[in-house]
Amino acid sequence: MTVRTIIAGNWKMHKTAADAAAFLDAFLPMVPTLPVSIEIVVAPPFTSIPTASARLRGARVQLGAQNMHWELAGAFTGEVSAPMLREFGVTHVILGHSERRALCDETDRTVNLKVRTALEQGLTPIVAVGETLDERRAGATGARVVAQIRAAFEGVAGDALRRVVLAYEPIWAIGTGENCEPAEADRVMGTIRKCLDGLGATPILYGGSMTARNVASYVALPNINGGLVGGASLDPESFAAIVAGAGA
């Protein structure tokens, strides 16, 4: 079964609206030179989404958000809902990123609520899972990521799993320059693919210090269908080189 390949840039808390405009003004002219087989997603912070949305009109680059609330509206000070994202043409939303789990009280339960809402609202959730270094050292990597996946999709119908994207991001590899060996990432991602029925054609992205130098060695492997890229997605040339590398 052929699974599509996706390179998604997670800008985290980087780039004002002016910075986002400058990035896209440099990046978009490079897009026609990039392999058409690779789906490209950028996920700016909320405040840069309107600017990015305007720049991306007519471009073959999809717009993502980095989080959202599970309710559609209400008394949730500081939160942003799926309809607010959709209004700006957002198609993807990263859910369960380890930084939100560790620093912003995201739990398996809230990830599950958000995944259900994203699917109901026609957004593609990019659900991130991954183990800490201690869990890896304790031999608990497989159990950890399987538990996170099962919790995230509790109560989600099997056919909806075709509309999701998964990301395996070992926490110790994020932003450290210490990427997980591709063969080991592929092994864990194979475990993820098998942990629920219906994930056979679901794109699973690797995340954790992915660069233009190492992307090809990941996407060559059977269970790796692209990347969720943090640091190396912030520079337009570097991000374009990663997309190019994924299609080489």
Q: Which residues bind ligand PGA (CB under 6 A)?
A: 10, 169, 174-175, 207-210, 228-232
Measured from the CB atom, the residue of 160 and 221 that comes closer to ligand PGA is: 221
Query: Minimum Å distance from CB 208 to ligand PGA?
Result: 5
> 10 Å Cβ neighbour count for 161?
18
Question: Distance (Å, rounded) from C-alpha 236 to C-alpha 239?
Answer: 5
Minimal CB distance residue for ligand PGA: 230
Query: Minimum Å distance from CB 155 to ligand PGA?
Result: 26
Measured from the CB atom, the residue of 20 and 229 that comes closer to ligand PGA is: 229
Determine which one of 39, 69, 97, 106 is catalytic. Answer: 97
Question: Distance (Å, rounded) from C-alpha 225 to C-alpha 36?
Answer: 15
Question: Does 169 qualify as catalytic in the annotation?
Answer: yes
For residue 208, CA distances in Å to 46, 94, 173, 205 come to 22, 15, 5, 10
Question: Distance (Å, rounded) from C-alpha 82 to C-alpha 2?
Answer: 30
Query: Minimum Å distance from CB 234 to ligand PGA?
Result: 9
Burial class from Cβ neighbours inside 10 Å (0-12, 13-18, 19+) for residue 73 reads: exposed
Nearest CA-CA partner of 210 in 240, 175, 248: 175
Instruction: Give me the count of residues in the chain.
Output: 248
Distance of CA 196 to the CA centre of its chain: 19
Query: Minimum Å distance from CB 172 to ligand PGA?
Result: 10
Determine which one of 39, 131, 135, 169 is catalytic. Answer: 169
Measured from the CB atom, the residue of 153 and 206 that comes closer to ligand PGA is: 206
Query: Minimum Å distance from CB 161 to ligand PGA?
Result: 21
Contact 106, 100 (CB under 8 A): yes
Tokens at 33, concatenated: 């030179």
Question: Does 87 qualify as catalytic in the annotation?
Answer: no
Which positions are annotated as active-site residues? Answer: 97, 169
